[in-house]
Amino acid sequence: MLGASSTVARAVLLGVLALLLAGCRMDLVAPIELRADGSAVAGLEARFDPRMLAELDALGVDPTAELSAVAATDDAWSLTRIREEDGGLTVALRRELADAGELPGIYAELTAGLAPQDPALELDLEQVAVLDRRATIAGTARWRAPASSGLVVDGEELGPGGDELADLLEEAVTVGIEVTMPGPVEEQDGFLLERDTVRIDVTTAEPRDFTVRSAPPPWWSRIPTDRTAWLAAAGLLAAVVGLGLVLLGRRRSSPEA
């Protein structure tokens, strides 16, 4: 996981490990959006299933603590909590960027405060470019499992460690990057979620190299799609049609020359 405090990370990890053994699941995702104007959105989401939430609550562990800590220490990040229909919870960090070229530094900063033994989704973005409304993003992702449970009693470390812990997390935690491009995807080495969105799964086995390229967005994407714009357009259309009907009615009712 990513965050600003190793202490918080350890507290959450201990609770999560207990739940993974009980068959609970979670999904850690880095959603990235590139826009045709060169701006971007950086993000990090943790998705917890209903069973995990109930068990964490019983243990007194707040699964949102680490992400909340990031938002609390940097106003540029916004944090939302979305309750799913099935009772699950998605906790999402989001940051608007005027320049997509800032993305590599943003993701490097997120993991900078973690100790080597802490779990982390590391993103090394080597290329981020938006040119003529075409976009390219390429880099390497690593899912680093924790080296140990972090639980020490009387000087003795308890719980699984090393490869055993990595295997346990591999079974219960899915990790990935979800990249949304400004136009239809032309090249990618993950799998398409939508015509403009790609998911790249990451495991603890080895670093995952990835590249995603897109075509420019279609011309109609420039048409405003917010509700206010459509209401204004509908009102204008209704006025034009009404005026046309009035003029037509007058013409029909006018006496013949």
Using CA atoms, how far apart are residues 97 and 64, in angstroms rounded to an integer? 23
Please name every residue paired with 173 in a beta bridge, in sequence order, or none if there are none.
26
Cβ-count burial 79-89 (b if 16+ within 10 Å, e if not): beeeeeeeebb
- Residue 188 scores a pLDDT above 70: yes
Helix, strand, or coil (residue 172): helix
Pick the residue with more confidence: 42 or 257?
A: 42
Task: Give pLDDT tens digits for 1-24.
Answer: 444 444 334 444 444 555 554 556
Q: How many CA atoms lie within 13 A of 105 on its CB side?
A: 5
Give the phi and the psi of residue 59 in degrees, each rounded to 5: -80, -10
pTM: 0.72
Phi, psi of 245 (to 5 degrees): -65, -40
Per-residue pLDDT tens digits for 198-219: 999 998 778 999 999 999 987 6
Nearest in space to 64 (alpha carbons), one of 49, 76, 48: 48
Residue 255 has pLDDT above 50, yes or no: yes
Q: For the chain, which residues make up each domain, given as ranges?
A: 6-220, 224-253
Which strands make up the sheet holding 89-97, listed edge to edge? Answer: 78-83, 89-97, 40-48, 26-34, 173-180, 197-202, 191-194
